[in-house]
């Protein structure tokens, strides 16, 4: 008798030196990263960075030129159908048969998956105010996207791979979507979220990777990035202070000075700044939260402008 051990809980996705070339073009180049189970992982990059090519290899739809994509413990190319059966997938370019209703499409997918959970479908439809009765070809882009979201989530998969999921959704429904992601990871599921939307990703993701030109340029937790990103701080003193004293503090850059008011960009700890402010007659302080956009945008620029952080 063969006794199979339960698989050790490993990462939901592991990419090892994953590479895809199209002739001379390196669409994805030596990509190595891990997506831990039970988190939202944001996968960002400018147009043409290699996000969709990576996702196709994760889904076992495209063969790596070299390297591997291991998904839920299985090599995605060796067993594409097995891997896809365990994933809820929302493609970036959603193609739905236009004459079928949402109900018909979802019923068909559910039968193919051998899991039909109509109560979950109707709960999601209500949540996103999706119309499942009209042919999807007559729906607006955002309303069609809702059908794609329900299809990805309704069988409660272990892993969700979502390519630009909220494109076309209005802000209220985006909020619903953020809540759905939070509930999903609370139940131990994993979400791999590809997006151009820096704002969406920083709202919902625990970890972020940015690729550009097929290469990984940044991978870190959102909280670590937030700690690194500059905050804007305004200090008001009863009398003008020496700007150079503040400029010399670690992580502090004076952006402007007007009479007793200093405008600063502050990264890292604020202790030294607060001590310096306290040694003068500080009468007011205004601090804005760290803006990850500024940091992200620097990683979207041309390669020679940005240091590679691995």
Ligand X SMILES: Nc1ncnc2c1ncn2[C@@H]1O[C@H](COP(=O)(O)OP(=O)(O)OP(=O)(O)O)[C@@H](O)[C@H]1O
CA–CA distance, 82 with 260 (Å, rounded to integer): 66
Token pair in block for residue 176: 């619903």
CA–CA distance, 103 with 135 (Å, rounded to integer): 9
- Give CA separation, 41 vs 127, 162, 163, 188, 204, in Å: 23, 10, 12, 13, 9
CB contact at 8 A, 33 and 70: no
CB contact at 8 A, 191 and 88: no
Give the count of beta carbons closer than 10 Å to the beta carbon of residue 214.
23
Query: Which of 14, 51, 121, 280 is the binder for ligand X (CB under 6 A)?
Result: 51
The whole-angstrom distance between residue 62's C-alpha and the CA centroid of its chain comes to: 22
Could you tell me the smallest distance in angstroms from the CB atom of residue 46 to ligand X?
7
Query: Which of 2, 3, 6, 22 is the binder for ligand X (CB under 6 A)?
Result: 22
For residues 79 to 118, the per-residue mask of contacts with ligand X, x marking binding by CB under 6 A and - elsewhere, is -------------x--------------------------
Query: Which of 11, 42, 50, 102 is the binder for ligand X (CB under 6 A)?
Result: 50
Asked if residue 151 binds ligand X (CB under 6 A), the reply is no
Segment interacting with ligand X, rule: CB under 6 A, options 21-29, 120-128, 170-178, 238-246? 21-29
Write out the binding residues for ligand X, residues 52-71 only, by CB under 6 A: 52-53
Indicate the residue among 20 and 155 with the shorter CB distance to ligand X. 20
Could you tell me the smallest distance in angstroms from the CB atom of residue 94 to ligand X?
13
CA–CA distance, 70 with 58 (Å, rounded to integer): 8
Indicate the residue among 52 and 202 with the shorter CB distance to ligand X. 52
Catalog residues that contact ligand X under the rule CB under 6 A: 22, 25, 27, 45, 47-53, 92
């Amino acid at each position: 008798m063969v006794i199979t051990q339960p698989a050790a809980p490993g990462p939901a996705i592991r990419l090892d030196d994953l590479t895809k070339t199209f002739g001379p073009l390196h669409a994805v180049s030596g990509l190595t990263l891990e997506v831990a189970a039970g988190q939202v992982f944001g996968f960002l990059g400018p147009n043409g960075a290699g996000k969709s090519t990576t996702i196709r290899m994760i889904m076992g739809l495209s063969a790596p030129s070299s390297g591997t994509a291991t998904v839920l413990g299985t090599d995605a190319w060796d067993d594409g159908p097995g891997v896809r059966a365990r994933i809820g997938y929302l493609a970036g370019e959603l193609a739905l048969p236009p004459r079928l209703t949402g109900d018909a499409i979802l019923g068909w997918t559910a039968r193919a998956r051998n899991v039909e959970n109509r109560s979950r479908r109707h709960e999601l439809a209500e949540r996103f105010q999706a119309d499942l009765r009209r042919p999807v070809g007559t729906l607006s882009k955002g309303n069609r996207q809702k059908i794609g979201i329900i299809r990805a989530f309704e069988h409660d998969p272990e892993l969700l791979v979502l390519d630009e999921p909220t494109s076309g959704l209005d802000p209220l429904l985006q909020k619903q979507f953020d809540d759905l992601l939070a509930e999903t990871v609370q139940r131990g599921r994993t979400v791999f979220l590809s997006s151009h939307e820096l704002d969406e990703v920083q709202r919902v993701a625990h970890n972020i990777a940015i690729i550009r030109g097929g290469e990984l340029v940044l991978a870190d937790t959102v909280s670590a990035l937030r700690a690194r990103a500059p905050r804007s701080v305004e200090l008001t003193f009863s009398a003008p202070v020496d700007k150079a004293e503040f400029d010399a503090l670690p992580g502090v850059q004076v952006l402007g000075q007007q009479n007793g008011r200093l405008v600063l960009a502050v990264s890292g700890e604020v202790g030294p700044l607060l001590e310096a402010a306290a040694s003068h007659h500080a009468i007011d302080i205004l601090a804005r939260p760290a803006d990850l956009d500024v940091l992200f945008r620097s990683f979207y620029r041309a390669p020679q402008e940005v240091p590679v952080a691995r």
